[in-house]
Amino acid sequence: MTIRRFVSRLAIAGAAMTLSAGTAGADELRPFEAHYNVIWKGIGAGRSSLTLKRLDNDRWSYETRNVARGLFRVALPGDISQSSEFRVVNGTVMPEHFRGDDGTDATRKDVDIRFDWQAHRATGVAEDKRIEVALEPGIQDGMSVQAALMIELMHGRTPSSFMMLDKDRVKEYLYSREGTETLETAIGRKETVIFRSRRPDSDHSTMYWCVPEMGYVPVKVERRNGKKTEWSMLVQSATRE
């Protein structure tokens, strides 16, 4: 994997970090903020942050912001970000507005999509292309899919899959629980549960080490190609209200 390709995936990594951040019940989600170091081939490649905010009783915003550093800063000097505004209705996450910015003045990699659940359509712009996609119940965006997952985990369930709108295509992502592990981290010794996410028929997967006592906030993430680790993200700080 080239440096440019790796840096371009920082936002995807940040979005995938958000496995869970609350306790039982959608109205008991708790705002939080976490910061991570990104490691590529043993090199510190950047920093990633995740922020979950309450907008009102049933509306939330979730944002990941990623900053490259060192040699990686040359490949992409701006901040990469993704954000979602979503509503939780009867335990179901319903995305409303998804935005992605690659940190440059150009728009060819940016995404801005609105979800109209009354019309059952998602419309907007993805990489300078106008899109319109039919919506089926349960479809998520790149950030809200993690909120949907967290609610499942809060109710003691590990979902087998989610459908996610990626630009102008709806894709399936499979999820599985892979075991437990005790980790020494920058925020202390933590008992974690390990989850895996992957596309069907793909050798690539993302592994998450999540802390139940922190509402399943992840403290470690690895992107793997088969058994080979391509990059990892390690928690440096985490606060929850």
Split at pLDDT 50, 70, 90, the class of 71 is low
CATH number of the domain at 65, please: 2.40.360
Count up the domains in the chain and report the number.
1
Determine, yes or no, domain membership for 113: yes
- Asked whether residue 241 is assigned to any structural domain, the reply reads no
pLDDT (average), residues 37-63: 90
- When pLDDT is averaged across residues 164-169 and rounded to a whole number, the result is 93
Within-domain flag for 220? yes
- Chain length of the chain: 241
Question: Do residues 82 and 143 lie in contact, with contact meaning Cβ atoms separated by under 8 Å?
Answer: yes
Please check whether residue 77 lies inside any domain of the structure.
yes
> Could you tell me the sign of the dihedral formed by the alpha carbons of 200, 100, 5, 131, in that order?
positive
Label residue 100 exposed, middle or buried (CB < 10 Å: 0-12, 13-18, 19+): buried
128 occurs within a structural domain? yes
Q: What pTM, to 2 d.p., does this model score?
A: 0.84
Q: Which of 9, 142, 164 is nearest to 82 (CA)?
A: 142
Mean pLDDT of the chain: 84
Does some domain include residue 61? yes
Spatial neighbors of 4 by CB under 8 A, at least 6 apart, are 75, 76
- Torsion angle, alpha carbons of 145, 150, 153, 157, to 10: -30
Q: Is residue 239 part of a domain?
A: no
Say if 10 falls within a structural domain: yes
What is the rounded distance in angstroms from the CA atom of residue 33 to the CA atom of residue 219?
12
User: Domain range for residue 17?
Assistant: 3-234
